[in-house]
Amino acid sequence: MSSAVPSGVIDFTTEGRIGLITINRPEARNAVNGEVAAGLEAAIDRLEADDDLWVGILTGAGPVFCAGADLKAINAGEAASLATKRGGFAGFVQREREKPVIAAVNGPALAGGCELVLACDLAVAARDTRFGVPEVKRSLVAAAGALFRLPRKLPINLALEMVMTGEPIDAERAHHFGLVNRLTDPGQAVEGARQLAEAICANAPIAVRESRKVLLATLGVDEEAGWRLSGQAFAAAMSTEDFLEGPRAFIEKREPKWKGR
């Protein structure tokens, strides 16, 4: 395991092919300020640039995943620092990337914290946590992705209830309706996310990235576009060394040895 700290409030550790990114402001419920936004963007930069890392996990230190925007920073006139040019809020919610990121939700994910989860590809949550977008309770609007991402993950009526009442839902309900991929016992979200990441890393990384890209790009498009993008992704996978390793390992009855190229 190696570690580095992109900023004072973001920890980055590596475990095999996995990059674990931790928001480390437990005294502030991991609320997003300018340092968190800059640090999280730097962490994603590192994940994307390191060819030895194939999957990222995003979590928060302490009993809260993330409570959203730091209202003290906003009150101090620092609202603009909570977003970056490439990543938007927290340096992440609008960030274009190739590698999958799993949210490990070990505590409440509220407001912008819930929107961080929605910006991830997958989510693993402890059973004792909850998800919510309470912005309307403060005469605010959830502007970091929840208003269009929630109804992609949840039934429209449930998404409407959440954004109009501001009331959270628990992890069991979030899992039932598909917002959460896997549930864990309290305190085990990171381990559950690690297991899910390992399942992804068992596959050819370029094939995973190309498949992810097409799935996300074809949400809401017609079949013609779906066929075109699928064909492009298949051609990209065919051009790699790993494309030959998959069938060879199957024929030889062994685990494949992916090179990521």
What local confidence, expressed as pLDDT, does residue 253 receive?
Answer: 73
CATH class of this structure's domain 2-201? alpha beta
**Which segments of 184-222 does DSSP mark as H helices, in order?**
189-201, 205-217
186, 126 in Cβ contact below 8 A? yes
Predicted confidence at residue 246, as pLDDT, reads 64
Both tokens of 60, joined, read 């928060």
Q: How far apart are CA 178 and CA 156, in angstroms?
A: 13
Q: What is the pLDDT of residue 102?
A: 98
Give the three-state DSSP class for 156: helix
135 is annotated as an active-site residue: yes
- The per-residue pLDDT for 3 is 45
More confidently predicted of 84 and 237: 84
Q: Is the pLDDT of residue 237 over 90?
A: no
Task: Please determine, for residue 178, whether its predicted confidence score (pLDDT) is greater than 50.
Answer: yes
Q: pLDDT per residue over 92-118, tens digit each?
A: 999 999 999 999 999 999 999 999 999
The confidence score (pLDDT) of residue 63 equals 96
* The pair of three-digit structure tokens given for residue 233, joined into one six-digit string: 């992704």
66 closest CA partner among 124, 113, 131? 113
Q: What is the DSSP string of 76-92?
A: TT-GGGGEETTTEETTT
How does strand 55-60 pair with strand 101-105? parallel
State the angle between helix axes of 205-217 and 223-238 in degrees (0 to 180), rounded to the nearest 10: 170
Q: Which pLDDT score is estimated for 150?
A: 94
Mean pLDDT of the chain: 90
Choosing from 41, 78, 96, 135, which is the catalytic residue? 135
Q: Are 127 and 185 in contact (CB under 8 A)?
A: yes
Q: Where are the domains of the chain?
A: 2-201, 205-251
> 222: burial class by Cβ within 10 Å (0-12, 13-18, 19+)?
exposed
Look up the pTM and report it. 0.87
Which neighbouring-strand residues pair with 15?
18
The pLDDT score that the predictor gives to residue 218 is 85
pLDDT band at 1 (very low <50, low <70, confident <90, very high): very low
Cα separation values, 125 from 30, 92, 105, 255, Å:
17, 19, 5, 30
Split at pLDDT 50, 70, 90, the class of 5 is: very low
Share of the chain above pLDDT 70, in %: 89
When pLDDT is averaged across residues 229-241 and rounded to a whole number, the result is 70
